[in-house]
Structure 1
Amino acid sequence: MLKTICYISDSNRDVTINNLNELYSAAKANNSKNHITGVLVYKNHNFLQVLEGAQELVDETFERIKNDSRHNNIFKVISTSIEGRIFEDYNFGFTVIDDKKELKNLYEYLEWLKLGHNKLANEVIGMVENFIEN
């Protein structure tokens, strides 16, 4: 069974660009290895991440994130079973958004996804859009 978790968190104020680069590299490698798709966005000392994949692997990944000292005040916004992945076709699965060009590409992808009129996908899309626009 597939599952998605979407969470937001505050970053530890001691997080540096090097820490973020390490985090991005580890997230891409781990999520790729575990066939987890989604997106990770960092903005204004906050993270938003969407994880999609096998239920057990998504839950294990989220538990590791909760224990990561780079995150504070983790708030799980969505945690539910899904029929299909939202981000599977976006940029080869899992993407870290860390520059304006990638942010623009993500926004265009979200606009395209809206055409599918999937209620859960539109909930996730709305949260991601609110996060990147504010």
Structure 2
Amino acid sequence: MLKTICYISDSRSNESIESIKKIYKKAKENNLINNITGILIFHNGNFLQVLEGLEENVDKTFDKIRFDTRHRNIIKVININVEERIFEDYNFGFTVVKSSSEFEELNEYLNWLKNADHQVANKLITMVENFIKTVG
């Protein structure tokens, strides 16, 4: 069964670009191995991440994140079994959104998703849009 978890968290410290790149690289490797798709957004010291995949893999990945010392105040905002992935086609899977052009690309993808009128997708879209509103 497929599952989606979306969480937000605060960074424990001011992450450097190099540190974010290391987080991204490790997350991408792990998620590729575990067939997890989604997005990871870091902005103003906060993370928003969507994880999608087989229930067991998503739960294990989220448990690792919960104990990762780079996070604090982790709030799981969506934890639901789904019939299909939402971000499977976005940049061929897992990505870190880190520039204004990538935010624009993400917005285009979210607008495309809105046309599907999928309830879980619409919740995720709203959350991601609210998270990135301050990005210019």
Structure 1 stretches of 4+ with a deviation exceeding 3 A read: none
> Which residue of structure 1 lines up, in the alignment, with residue 119 of structure 2?
119
Unaligned runs of 5+ in 1: none
What TM-score, normalized to structure 1?
0.97
Unaligned runs of 5+ in 2: none
> Which residue of structure 2 lines up, in the alignment, with residue 55 of structure 1?
55
Distance 2:100 2:33 in 1: 27
Number of corresponding residues: 134
Shift of 1:16: 2.1
Tell me whether 54-63 or 93-102 shows the greater mean CA deviation: 93-102
Q: Deviations over 1:73-96 (max 9, x none)?
A: 000000000000000011101111
What TM-score, normalized to structure 2?
0.96
Distance 1:44 1:38 in 2: 20
> Which residue of structure 1 lines up, in the alignment, with residue 109 of structure 2?
109
Shift of 1:15: 2.4
**How much identity, in percent, do the aligned residues show?**
56
Look up the equivalent residue of 1:28 and give its one-letter code: K
Any conservation in 1 of the 2:14–2:45 contact (CA below 8 Å)? no
1:25 aligns with 2:25: yes
Q: Deviations over 1:78-121 (max 9, x none)?
A: 00000000000111011111111111100110000000001111
Task: After TM superposition, list the pairs within 5 Å mapping 1:1-134 onto structure 2.
Answer: 1-134=1-134
Look up the equivalent residue of 1:23 and give its one-letter code: I
Look up the equivalent residue of 2:111 and give its one-letter code: E
Distance 2:87 2:117 in 1: 15
Look up the equivalent residue of 1:131 and give its one-letter code: F
